[in-house]
Amino acid sequence: MDVDLVIRNGKIVTPQRVYEGDDIAVKKGKTVSIDKQGSFPEAQEFIDAEGKYILPGIIDVHVHYREPGYTYKEDFESGSMAAAAGGVTTVCDMPNNLPFCSTVEAFQEKLETIKGKAYVDYGLIAAVVGETVEEIPKLAEAGINVFKIFMGSTVGGVPAPDDGGMLRAFQLVAETGLRIGVHAENNPIMDYLTAKLKEAGRTDPLAHVEARPPVAEAEAIQRAILFAAETGCKLHIYHLSSKEGVRLIKEAKEKGVQVSAETGPHYLLLDCSYMNKLGSILKMNPPVRSREHGEALWQGLLDGTVEVIATDHSPHTPDEKIKDNIWEAIPGFPGVETSVPLLLTQVNEGRLPLMTYVKLASENPARLFNLYPRKGTIQIGSDADFTIVDMEKEGVISKEKLHSKSKITPFDGWKVKGLPVYTIVRGNVVMKEGETVGKPNGELIKPIA
């Protein structure tokens, strides 16, 4: 068989098992054969993955690449280079840019702006705001992967629709068959507590944690679940951070509500005590909480309540981010490049089976965000997206080496074991041994019915 690429000698990982003794053949961007080692004598390119694991390409469904409008923080070229360097093959980009990606016109403008800049494939998420709720059917037809409501205050100031508009949005999204996601925080609760803390003269990092308590997340999740149950809409909870949220989602699933959730490395590996050391660097919405919440999130990942690991990659400049007064610091930090090694380290430490990680970081995101089976799997006919990892390779996360425009990370100096060594997007090698290579040939991936 004459093919473009053959990956030899690696161990192929699926959510069900690890396969040894098979090679993978790629032609015209697709996986065309998986057969015993040595079956493919002819290819334009060979990769020897001896001793390494071949994962279906990792998908990050929560990145903020800031384009158009805030490209001094990040753009699609730098953000997608960071993804490729970190072993990520597909991203879903958030809509809080300028203009908000909430109309077909804004969607088309964004597509034109980012054209030819991406090193990885991408889907786009649309914002639901009050005045554009009726745009939902047209946005779905145009190629939006999923919709998002910012129930809590966020960077960019995307206004949440009122409850009537939110319920209407759920109805319209349900008719499209797509999914609606929510940034689940209750603004009135947070506004009240923030005012009280400021009156008391609090400017320390932990004041941010106290201003956004678990009950603010839980109330918003509960309201979104109620609307999902009423309308039959598929619901996704972004950046889940609390044990109360895990409980509500588990209960809703048991009642038949179609609700999924994601959490991120910072909620799993850090806790609010790190705020004393890192200060505004660790400021994120929702905040990193006490250890009991992180443990509940781990349990949720392992029992299937929480179905996705994503990063909320949120780059900012040092002037915006590094502040002594926590209220003046902007929330968020880059994460798309550090997530894979951080989680592979947890695999090596026995906290997370490698097959479970593949399900959480590849197959589940693809299924929930309407990319499967084109993405999220290693099978004949699917896109030839692969993250090849060396589980024995060790390294240290260094902020200076990040490919993002932002060099701010709470994980600076962390030792990791288990690193991506190849990122392959539709048969094209875009990262080798930590450095991006090739050209930006990333494509928009529209939802698959």
* Average pLDDT value for residue range 217-224: 98
37 close to 21: Cβ distance less than 8 angstroms = yes
Helices then strands, counting H and E runs in the chain, come out as: 15, 19
253 close to 261: Cβ distance less than 8 angstroms = no
260 close to 233: Cβ distance less than 8 angstroms = no
88 close to 423: Cβ distance less than 8 angstroms = yes
Please give the full DSSP string across 104-118, using - where no structure is assigned: HHHHHHHHHHHTT--
Q: Percentage of residues in the chain with pLDDT exceeding 70?
A: 99
Q: What is the pLDDT of residue 160?
A: 84
* Chain mean pLDDT for the chain: 96
Burial 349-374 (b: 16+ CB within 10 A, else e): eebbebbebbbbbbbbbbbbbbbbeb
pLDDT tens-digit map of 152-211: 777 767 888 899 999 999 999 999 999 999 999 999 999 999 999 999 999 999 999 999
Q: DSSP label at 288?
A: P
Phi-psi region of 385 (alpha: psi -120 to 50; beta: other; left: phi over 0): beta
pLDDT band at 335 (very low <50, low <70, confident <90, very high): very high
**How far is CA 90 from each of CA 18, 87, 155, 348, 351, rounded to the nearest angstrom?**
22, 10, 23, 24, 25
Q: DSSP label at 363?
A: I
Exposed (0-12), middle (13-18) or buried (19+): which is 34, by Cβ within 10 Å?
A: middle
* Average pLDDT value for residue range 12-40: 94
Q: What is the pLDDT of residue 304?
A: 97
pLDDT tens-digit map of 55-112: 999 999 999 999 999 999 999 999 999 999 999 999 999 999 999 999 999 999 999 9
| CA–CA distance, 234 with 285 (Å, rounded to integer) | 23
| CA–CA distance, 425 with 87 (Å, rounded to integer) | 10
pLDDT tens-digit map of 293-329: 999 999 999 999 999 999 999 999 999 999 999 999 9
* Average pLDDT value for residue range 268-289: 97
Q: What is the pLDDT of residue 101?
A: 95
Cα 388–chain centre separation: 19
Q: Please give the helix or strand (H or E) that residue 58 lies within, else none.
A: strand 58-63
Q: Is the pLDDT of residue 42 over 90?
A: no
180 close to 147: Cβ distance less than 8 angstroms = yes
| CA–CA distance, 226 with 232 (Å, rounded to integer) | 10
Q: Please give the helix or strand (H or E) that residue 27 lies within, else none.
A: strand 22-27
Task: Output phi, psi for 436, to 5 deg.
Answer: -70, 145
Q: Is the pLDDT of residue 1 over 80?
A: no
Please give the full DSSP string across 72-106, using - where no structure is assigned: TT--HHHHHHHHHHTTEEEEEE-S-SSS-S-SHHH
Please name the residue that has the structure tokens 């209750």: 186
List of E strands, 246-341:
259-263, 308-309
Q: What is the pLDDT of residue 423?
A: 98
Structure tokens at 103: 């109309």
Peptide bond into 159 cis (omega under 30): no
Q: Determine the residue type at 12.
A: I
Q: Is the pLDDT of residue 29 over 90?
A: yes
Q: Is the pLDDT of residue 11 over 90?
A: yes
Q: DSSP label at 326?
A: G
Q: What is the dihedral of CA 71, 413, 341, 81, to 10 degrees?
A: 20
Please give the full DSSP string across 32-57, using - where no structure is assigned: EEEEETT---EEEEEEE-TT-EEEEP
Structure tokens at 382: 């699917």
Q: Is the pLDDT of residue 449 over 80?
A: no
Q: What is the pLDDT of residue 176?
A: 97
Nearest CA-CA partner of 280 in 315, 327, 242, 224? 327
| CA 262-442-384 angle, 5° bins | 80
What domains sit in the chain, N to C, each tagged with a CATH number?
Answer: 2-54+382-436 (2.30.40.10), 57-368 (3.20.20.140)
pTM across the whole model: 0.97
| CA–CA distance, 238 with 153 (Å, rounded to integer) | 14
| CA–CA distance, 400 with 318 (Å, rounded to integer) | 13
Please name the residue that has the structure tokens 């396969």: 19
* Average pLDDT value for residue range 410-418: 98
